[in-house]
Amino acid sequence: MAASEKDEDEKEEEELRQRFMAPPVSGLRELRRRRRELRSRMELLIMETQGEVCRALAALDPGASFAVDTWERKEGGGGISCVLQDGEVFEKAGVNVSVVFGLLSEEAARQMRSRGKSLKAKDGKLPFCAMGVSSVIHPKNPHVPTMHFNYRYFEIEEPDGTIQWWFGGGTDLTPTYLNEEDAVHFHKTLKEACDKHDLKLYPKYKKWCDDYFYIKHRGERRGIGGIFFDDVDSPSKEEVFQFVKSCAKAVVPCYIPIVKRHCHDSFTPEEKLWQQLRRGRYVEFNLLYDRGTKFGLLTPGSRIESILMSLPLTARWEYMHTPPESSKEAEILEVLRNPKDWVH
């Protein structure tokens, strides 16, 4: 290798290190060596997304810092968990990356087959690779919404060597109180990301989000939605990857302006109490219905602390709590029971 090429390689490595929160699971040099392969490009994307989001959040909460926890999974792979707790702005903010591989558990395979996946195992064994970036952000101020996003890639290898692959993900907002300006900004930003690829995607994935984040036993959505999709394997691997990349790049611009607008708003003890009650609903959905949580708990060697990072530090359940009619609390409940179109 010529000296100039070596210098360029070292410069690129240093730039990547500065964008990441920790060395990637697969190793920086291995990723660069296989940079044209989609698995490597996806791992680079989730690493860069983790770094972008952590830096944006830390800039809003300068008195706090992210604890960076690198972990290994003995069955194959590992991850990087970045968690900020007890800041001035964020009570808890986690941004996790995981890259795991090995053999799919029968419970996890059964969950996938229940969604219509045709998975052919050999002697009950299914080699798999799964990677993604996932985040839940719980602010202190009840006028700043909770936000969640997750973007992931999955591969299954069948006995004849055939690779099944698909992408999934989404970004959604869970406000304690309804602010229509925030809702419109959030949804418009996600719509713009989708529209770059196909005008049909935003309405399709917006509805999917409203349907997915539904707390059946409460008859209400977890929040005011966003976009959600899963098992996407068309039109082509490259086209879906570019779509996922656009969505990941939309995370900071769809959320950070909302945090800046409200993080210093005044609030009452009653408003803080309502936030705690709404967080209880968040916990109920994540533990009872969330597909990612279930998959993680069913995967041998999973890191439980990282899976349950999505739960808030504090929440509350009161018996038969009902907000007064025509109150701000009742207003958000109406939207959670009857989703709105925020962009038309």
Please identify which of the residues 148, 185, 187, 262 carries the catalytic annotation.
148
The CATH homologous superfamily to which domain 1-337 belongs is Coproporphyrinogen III oxidase, aerobic (3.40.1500.10)
Q: How many CB atoms lie within 10 A of CB 324?
A: 8
Instruction: Indicate the SS3 state at residue 121.
Output: coil
Query: Mean pLDDT across the chain, nearest whole number?
Result: 91
Q: Report pLDDT digits (tens) over 297-337.
A: 877 777 888 889 899 999 999 999 999 999 999 999 999 99
Averaged pLDDT for residues 183-199: 98
Q: How far apart are CA 278 and CA 315, in angstroms?
A: 8
What is the phi/psi pair of residue 223, to 5°? -155, -155
Q: How far apart are CA 267 and CA 275, in angstroms?
A: 11
Note if 344 is an active site residue: no
In the chain, where are the structural domains located? 1-337
- What type of residue sits at position 153? Y
According to DSSP H, which parts of 61-179 are helical? 106-113
Tell me: pLDDT of 104 over 80: no
Q: Which has more pLDDT, 32 or 116? A: 32
Tell me: pLDDT of 10 over 80: no
Question: Which band of pLDDT confidence, cut at 50, 70 and 90, is reported for residue 92?
Answer: very high
